Structure 1
């Protein structure tokens, strides 16, 4: 077989229900894919903040959405409050990443701004107008997200309203099949699409295998979607062999294929 990942076993650590396209793409390159959900997307502990923001949508100048989860939970809650898209008529929408933009377009809306790089930091550097005095609504993950956007926009004079739109938690029950593959040292590569997937991966292994869980990772390589995730890999796992140059899932696949000789 000429496929670059033929004979390689790759563990995908995305949220349950969100890994299918990524896994399918890896399989097209010949990989055997084992899905190990390390993220569970659930509603926030309270809807109060988001509901209050939705009730006063007309007060905001910008809506910032940094993930498909933020899009889904924001608009589903908007609909549940019997509000329609006309409430967003006067608000500009900024998104991070083409996947987030696609999800927004599926709901009939066109983003007003997408930064050239698929990272939140690029949002601040390339923002199309001065944010001094602007009111910005930022629906986001309840805990564990980076604060770079909030700090940077606040420093530039923006009035940021952060609201919890969803929560990403560690699954309570580890996936037995994927844990067994790790324990048996049968995996060639583990992929990480966020720092939180790295943290939860470590938690699940410790929970299942015990204090010596790191020993089961001696022969496996790690692939990261970008610098922040790589930083977490190095902090918790001691290393990372592959990092995407373009900080997207497609970019991660390209990096894995390009460096398949490492596996």
Structure 2
């Protein structure tokens, strides 16, 4: 361990989905921290009751929107299962965030629009400012995602369909692992990358009366939506970066601890 690194010796709770947690853990280690991975969410395909309708008119959409890597993954997984290709369809694609954009590009798909700010409302505003005459839109989303984009579009009489392509579930052993991690009192910080992780975390805390074990822990949220969810649950958020990425989260946490060193 290099004691000069800003997170040296500090245990950081990682609550995101298992596959994505590894990359975040690697970043924590780069800053000298010790990641404690306790995934509070996982994802699986969702059978939307309107799926057949969306598939039947798939190539009539002018735009397809993705707000997460999962939206990309499960959308194209479904198309692959049905042997459906969008090659030559002329459909344009929009993505919220760098990771979502990259998930499309690795599939050889050109991304035609990425907002400057990575929230649903910013996305909707920026998109319609740039493409006021856009035609019918299909949005691939999860079952717990908010309807911010579709509401904004519908209020302005813009056509948009929401296809729920995946659902959020909770790993069976996550509660026991979280309880043990908190009761050890070895953690320095808690990280959250979605409102879903906040809700699951607080359910365990409330059900098992663990509020006292949160004292002194730094709360780190990836962006304003997650921060809002944390604060609505009574958590005081110390770190919420301006760029909504995991890299910026951990850098922000490092800067937070460095500020104490300078005092």
Do Structure 1 and Structure 2 share a fold, with TM-score over 0.5?
yes
For 2:94, the equivalent position in structure 1 comes to 94
SS at match of 2:190: strand
CA separation of 1:172 and 1:131: change in aligned 2, threshold 3 A: farther
Q: Work out whether residues 131 and 156 of structure 1, in 8 Å CA contact, stay in contact via their aligned partners in 2.
A: no
Cα displacement (A) at 1:32: 0.5
Deviates more, 1:174-183 or 1:89-98: 174-183
Cα displacement (A) at 1:70: 0.4
Cα displacement (A) at 1:25: 0.5
Cα displacement (A) at 1:38: 0.8
Q: Distance in 1 between matches of 2:18 and 2:52?
A: 27
1:255 to 252, 257, 260: 252
Counting only pairs closer than 5 Å after superposition, residues 139-178 of structure 1 correspond to structure 2 as 139-142=140-143, 144-174=144-174, 176-178=176-178
SS at match of 1:172: coil
Counting only pairs closer than 5 Å after superposition, residues 166-245 of structure 1 correspond to structure 2 as 166-174=166-174, 176-207=176-207, 210=208, 212-245=209-242
SS at match of 2:110: coil
SS at match of 1:54: helix
Cα displacement (A) at 1:173: 2.4
CA separation of 1:244 and 1:43: change in aligned 2, threshold 3 A: same
Name the TM-score, length of structure 2 as normaliser.
0.91
For 2:60, the equivalent position in structure 1 comes to 59
Q: Work out whether residues 121 and 148 of structure 2, in 8 Å CA contact, stay in contact via their aligned partners in 1.
A: yes
Q: Work out whether residues 193 and 229 of structure 1, in 8 Å CA contact, stay in contact via their aligned partners in 2.
A: yes
Alignment gaps of 5+ in structure 1: none
SS at match of 1:41: strand
Name the TM-score, length of structure 1 as normaliser.
0.91
